[in-house]
A and B are shown apart, each in its own frame.
Chain A
């Protein structure tokens, strides 16, 4: 009889995020995707004899922001190290990186776990390094090298092996992408290869009280979230299969390995054993000065950080009673979220109104133009004015939407919605006498509906709504539907008792 198996997947991630600086990490060359090969280069990033690197402070600062947003500690003293290996796309044959003193360490990010519980993924380290160029093999008979990407600042983030399933890895990676975009430290565009993932995976197998661990496989250079999830999924099965076939396939006996993801075959493929580990001969780069940070400076950077997307979401839900889905939609774009907060200014009622206006008509209008709401109509003051007008019944909801859409069509500046509502004759009539007159008129003209409301059990519920719509029509949209509804209900009641 075979003892039953339980397995647990263990995953740690290495993630490279390209920072959105204007220039490269150690020279003044522009960072530009898709430029003519080798046109964005200079003696420094070409690694020409005699050239020297100079640190791009903006890249360092952006890295610190990112590291802080991942709750990392920031090194008070960090330095640059040379990592030596030969490759044609690495012109100096060493990469400038940070070896034993990363700028950020011991952080964490929380992701959503099962049943509303959050799961904490610890960050081991985050360090800054320069990217290599690209080898091109599409010309027959020779290989070409494009060094435009050489020297691009990359933040390498390494997690602890705290991830235990493919979906969590997927969620962690997408969360990190959102965070990067939110902080403005990276475009984090997957199409442009600005995020690359390398999961380290093995499986803990328990059989009848005995525990086995498979060797660690590092899947190299994944460039989509789906590939991360699928590769982990595949590896968690493959490793157990290999162990079942050969019980010596365990950590310590069999060697760790690098594998590649074949998306067509939906499987990982063996690349090389890690036994023959590279000796990178790290040593401090004598061309660059160490970087020191003070607690005051780190605090000031921390204070300037925007609220993280998850924290913001939680706050919108708890403070304003928004649904999780609505909060997610608002927070998805930092500009929209900031506009929301500025316009609502802590008022719960306004928040609800704002949510329906923003996620309804406004979002659709902006999406149609591939823009965000806050880029089309960025003025928080105007938004607040409009939301308040709807909330106070100065205009009704549909008139509010109409005004909003018109404003979004025409201008991105400050809008005087009050004036606009007056000009369009959309200000709601507050005169109850006038509204009663319209109700009378509608009752006279729609006797069928009135009879339904009074005595047709099938239609008694729908009829008042129909009548309200008619009153709104007659009023040219200016009647306050709330008041109209009340008047109609009272009228029907009155007729029933007669």
Chain B
């Protein structure tokens, strides 16, 4: 398994060409993806052109590229002007944006090679990548199982080694949960750390773009490229960006790790609990200290999240109406019919469900009871965490209550699917950074992830703790057969 760090170094040093690294990723996709279904679009032409451009650069120019020749996959809700951006939805099936996302530009500038766009739950709504109008994405550890979601395609691209790194987006756990279920590293940055310009919005106050990688170091390398101010996103913060790679090697002696009872309660599978507890032992062994904390409001997170996220989504997705772009129903009479038929045909059932939930929550007479109340709970949840971070540096927990489930197993029970987001959504509601790092395998040989949450803008510290953990463990070195 070659890392982004090594690929980039050899391309910079002239020991490998970007065209070769691009081709090897494209070959891997050609060999594996028919079965895995991680990609909805392969950008061969763009990838080779970008690779040739890098190879044609003067050596000293190429040396400045931190991701020189590194193949990367982008979740298909991140705009690329050279490839369609469909959000795995029929309604945007033919949509090719006339512009690229901020992160897309940053990656191209850093010498990364975008080889394709990955599958997701339609408009990032889901936890299994099953809600895709495109294809089924399979977990490389057990192909009858889901990879998690919504960034399932990006997770699988990295887990199967098709690309060393990928980008996903995380609104309620959509990076961390698939990272956990496929045994890779996934990080959701602080809200505002990475520009959302060009990320197709789901829940605007919750969405963040973040990295997938096999190693924490690669995740840090990728975050270095995408983090930072962007004048096109008013919610993007201009605070200085740490060098996330530089601080990885610090010892973690004396770090205080908070453990909240609420994250180890009912519903947590034994196999997962065991691995997470073993990981905590390991961290103690490395000199960290664990402290019991209380996060009593955790149980309100799900209700709060599913009101805010759906309310914002109902508004964000209003623009898909068949008038200006995207799918337009052919057999509608007047404009109102055209609206409803285009949306009826263009959206899948989960998206419709959430639009209806959100529309209801914002409706006159219900707004105060639902949306406004949820926003107040959100403030309390944030305060709950702030209090906790006054005592500890990191909060550790499982990422998901259980490992990957079977494809189709939960499709008929959306509520059960929602409830499984319990450990991840708090970080989105509070806007804090959180990551998943592989911490072992359950009895069925399925990967388990450890979640680390930190205060706002503490990415460097989280990456440092996770990296130290990886140095002394080898879970991340195991690859699916």
Q: Which residues does A use to contact B, with CB under 8 Å?
A: 43, 46-55, 82, 84, 86, 88, 91-94, 145, 279, 281-283, 286-289
For residue A286, which residues in chain B have a CB less than 8 angstroms away from its CB?
203-205, 235, 312
A80 to chain B: closest residue by CB: B234
CB distance from B343 to the nearest CB of A (A): 10
Q: Which 7 A-B pairs have the closest CB atoms?
A: A93-B318, A286-B205, A286-B204, A281-B362, A49-B200, A50-B198, A279-B364
A54-B315 contact given A43-B98, A91-B324, A286-B204, CB 8 Å threshold: no
B306 CB-CB contact with A under 8 Å: no
- Asked if B324 and A93 make an inter-chain contact with CB atoms under 8 angstroms apart, the answer reads no
In the bound complex, how far is the Cα of B325 from the Cα of A457, in angstroms?
A: 91
**CB of A147 to closest CB in B, whole Å:** 8
Q: Is the CB of A49 within 8 A of B79?
A: yes
How far apart are B366's CB and chain A's nearest CB, in angstroms? 10
* CB pairs A–B below 8 angstroms (14 shown): A49-B95, A49-B319, A50-B79, A50-B85, A50-B196, A50-B198, A50-B200, A50-B201, A52-B234, A88-B335, A91-B323, A94-B318, A279-B364, A283-B315
Assess the B79–A287 pair: CB atoms within 8 A: no
Across the interface, which residues of A come within 8 angstroms of B97, CB to CB?
Answer: 43, 48-50
B339 at the interface (CB under 8 A from A): yes
Best-surrounded residue of A53, A286, A289 (most CB of chain B within 10 A): A286
Q: Is B321 an interface residue when CB atoms closer than 8 A count as contact?
A: yes
Contacts of A282 in B (CB 8 A): 362, 367
In the bound complex, residues from chain B placing their C-beta under 8 Å from that of A48 are 97-99, 325
**B364 cross-chain contacts in A, Cβ below 8 A:** 279, 281
Tell me, in angstroms, the Cα distance from A153 to B197 when the chains sit together.
22
The residue among B77, B203, B234, B311 with the most chain A CB atoms within 10 A of its own CB is B234
Shortest CB-to-CB span from A24 to chain B, Å, is 14
Q: Which residues of B contact A91 (CB under 8 A)?
A: 319, 323-324
Apart from the given pairs A51-B198, A281-B362, A286-B312, 15 other A-B contacts in the complex at a CB distance below 8 Å = A49-B79, A49-B319, A50-B200, A52-B232, A54-B231, A54-B234, A84-B315, A84-B318, A86-B318, A86-B336, A91-B323, A92-B318, A94-B315, A145-B323, A279-B363
| Interface residues in B370-390 (C-beta closer than 8 Å to A) | 371
Report Cα–Cα, A274/B350, bound state, in Å: 34
Known: A94-B318, A279-B363. A288 touches B95 (CB 8 A): no
Bound: A287/B232 CA distance, A: 11
- CB-CB < 8 A to A287: which residues of B? 201, 204, 234-235
Nearest chain A CB to B85 CB, angstrom units: 7
Contact A53 B234 (CB under 8 A): yes
Closest B residue to A86 by beta carbon equals B339
1/0 per residue, CB under 8 A from A, across B307-332: the answer is 00001101100110101110000000
Tell me the minimal C-beta distance from A50 to chain B in angstroms.
4
Which DSSP category, helix, strand, loop or mixed, fits chain A's interface?
loop
Q: Are A52 and B319 in contact (CB under 8 A)?
A: no
Cross-chain contact A281 with B234 (CB below 8 angstroms): no
**Are the CB atoms of A46 and B204 closer together than 8 Å?**
no
Query: A279 to B197, alpha carbons, bound, how many Å?
Result: 29
A92 → chain B closest CB, angstroms: 5
Q: Are B339 and A51 in contact (CB under 8 A)?
A: no
Residues of A within 8 A of B363 (CB): 279, 281
- Is B87 an interface residue when CB atoms closer than 8 A count as contact? yes
Which residues of B sit under 8 angstroms from A43, Cβ to Cβ? 97-99
Main secondary structure, interface of B, reads loop
- Of chain B, the residue at the smallest CB distance from A43 is B99
Query: Which residue of the partner chain A has the closest CB to B95?
Result: A49
Do A50 and B101 touch (CB < 8 A)?
yes
- How many angstroms from the CA of A15 to the CA of B442 in the assembled complex? 66
| Cβ–Cβ < 8 Å partners of B203 in chain A | 286
Q: Which residue of A lies closest to B99 (CB)?
A: A43
Q: Residue B233 at the A interface, CB < 8 A?
A: yes
* CB–CB B199/A50 < 8 A: yes
Whether A289 contacts B362 by the Cβ 8 Å rule is no
Report A-chain residues with C-beta under 8 Å of the C-beta of B234.
Answer: 52-55, 287-289
Separation of A43 and B325 alpha carbons in the complex (Å): 12
Q: In whole angstroms, what is the CA distance A279 to B314 when docked?
A: 14
In Å, the complex CA distance between A288 and B234 comes to: 6
Chain A residues with Cβ below 8 Å from B339 are: 86
Partner of B319, one of A55, A93, A288: A93
Residue of A nearest to B231 (CB): A54
Measured in the bound complex, the distance between the Cα atoms of B301 and A281 in whole Å is 23
In the complex the two chains form, is A49's CB within 8 Å of B312's CB? Answer: no
Is B233 a contact partner of A283 (Cβ separation < 8 A)?
A: no
What's the nearest-Cβ distance from chain A to residue B133, in Å? 15
Measured in the bound complex, the distance between the Cα atoms of B318 and A69 in whole Å is 37
B359 at interface by CB-CB < 8 Å: yes
CB-based contact B92/A49 at 8 Å:
yes
- Closest-by-CB residue of B relative to A49 is B200
Complex: how many Å from CA A145 to CA B197?
25
- Of A48, A50, A84, A86, chain B has the most CB atoms within 10 Å of the CB of A50
Cα distance, A294 to B451, chains bound together (Å): 42
Q: Write the nearest CB–CB distance from B201 to chain A, whole angstroms.
A: 7
Residue of B nearest to A280 (CB): B364
Contacts of A281 in B (CB 8 A): 314-315, 359, 362-364, 367
Closest CB in chain B relative to A86 CB, distance in Å: 6
Q: 0/1 per residue, B222-238, Cβ < 8 Å to A?
A: 00000000011111000
A residues in contact with B92, CB < 8 Å? 49
A94 to B85, CA, bound (A): 22
**Cβ of B40 to closest chain A Cβ, rounded Å:** 15
**A52 CB contact (under 8 Å) in B87, B196, B311:** B196
B:72-97 near A, CB below 8 Å:
77-79, 85, 87, 92, 95, 97
Kindly provide the distance from the CB of B377 to the nearest chain A CB, expressed in whole angstroms.
16
B 135-174 contacts with A by CB, 8 A: none
Q: Which chain B residues (268-311) contact chain A, with CB distance < 8 Å?
A: 311
CA distance A375 to B476 in the complex (A): 75
Q: A94-B315, A289-B235 are in contact. Are A50 and B362 (CB under 8 A)?
A: no
Separation of A379 and B92 alpha carbons in the complex (Å)? 61
User: For B231, what are the chain A residues with a Cβ–Cβ distance below 8 Å?
Assistant: 54
A144: min CB distance to chain B, Å: 11
Give bound CA distance, A37 to B476, whole Å.
55
* Minimum CB–CB distance for A284 against chain B, Å: 9
Report A286 CB to chain B, min CB distance, Å: 4
Chain A residues with CB under 8 Å of B321's CB are: 86, 93
- In angstroms, how far is the closest chain A Cβ from the Cβ of B222? 20
- Residues of B within 8 Å of A94, CB to CB, are 315, 318
* B87 CB → nearest A CB, Å: 7
Best-buried of A51, A281, A282 by chain B (most CB within 10 Å): A281
Which A residues are in CB contact (< 8 Å) with B335? 88
- Measured CB to CB, the nearest residue on chain A to B311 is A283
